[in-house]
Amino acid sequence: MKKSITDAQRKYFYFNTLKALAWAAIVCTVALAIFIMVESWLPGGESSKQSDAVSNTLLSVSGKTESSADYTSILSAFGINTSAKASYKLFMRKLVGHYLLFAVLGVGLGVSFYLISKHRYLFGVYALAVGVVIAVISEVLQLPVFTTGRVFTLEDIGIDILGVLSGLIFAGACILLVTAALKHGNKRYYPLYKQALDGLCSKTLVSRVGKVTAAYCDEYGR
């Protein structure tokens, strides 16, 4: 006869699953933040080579030519003026190297802070604050005192913050959808998931596994 899973065991499974997800989100987000800092620190010549390689790859995939890809109007909306010929590579540099990179960072920050924040309703505020700090530092690292051939611009910081906001909105929407699916999909087990989520925070995340396991089993039963 198959042994049924108790509510305490199911709750403990939810807790460990959420903990693993939190660690994965944090590690990936920290790795991405470090990557952004390192890329910001690169000299201008090396950074341009990398950007050109990405731009040329995307251009070949799209089937367009550099002369036919005019993004001057989009760039001018952010206060960036350039020629039509140079607009494609500059646009891709801003889109991929700034907006999309920071959008992914925003998703990671949003998920991480949602899972580990004691005041979970403020996760977006925490994530945005950290995202803004990373955006500013990544531009400060481009000052002549830290590297060569790079320029500090407020426009880039604005694009970075816009990316973080977009990522946060996407993460928030996914969290709402997943929560709604869990809540309405299985009303019996949703309270167990919610209690497991409430038991996860930065303190339980960094505590030793054995200690957390014992404390959690004492509270909810084995």
Cα 154 to Cα 110: distance, rounded to the nearest angstrom: 24
- Under 8 Å between Cβ of 93 and 55: yes
Q: What is the pLDDT of residue 1?
A: 43
Cα 220 to Cα 160: distance, rounded to the nearest angstrom: 43
Using CA atoms, how far residue 30 sits from 25, 140, 167, in Å, is: 9, 19, 15
Can you say how many angstroms the Cα of residue 133 is from the centroid of all Cα atoms in its chain?
14
- Under 8 Å between Cβ of 123 and 114: yes
Q: What is the pLDDT of residue 63?
A: 60
Q: What is the pTM of this model?
A: 0.79
Using CA atoms, how far residue 35 sits from 23, 30, 41, 102, 137, in Å, is: 18, 9, 10, 11, 13
For residue 197, which of 9, 21, 6 has the smallest C-alpha distance? Answer: 21
3-state secondary structure of 37: helix
Q: What is the pLDDT of residue 134?
A: 97
For residue 25, which of 121, 105, 99 has the smallest C-alpha distance? Answer: 105
Share of the chain above pLDDT 90, in %: 35
- Under 8 Å between Cβ of 163 and 101: yes
Average pLDDT rounded to a whole number, residues 40-47: 85
Q: What is the pLDDT of residue 117?
A: 87
Phi, psi of 134, rounded to the nearest 5 degrees: -65, -40
pLDDT band at 210 (very low <50, low <70, confident <90, very high): very low
For residue 190, which of 18, 14, 23 has the smallest C-alpha distance? Answer: 14
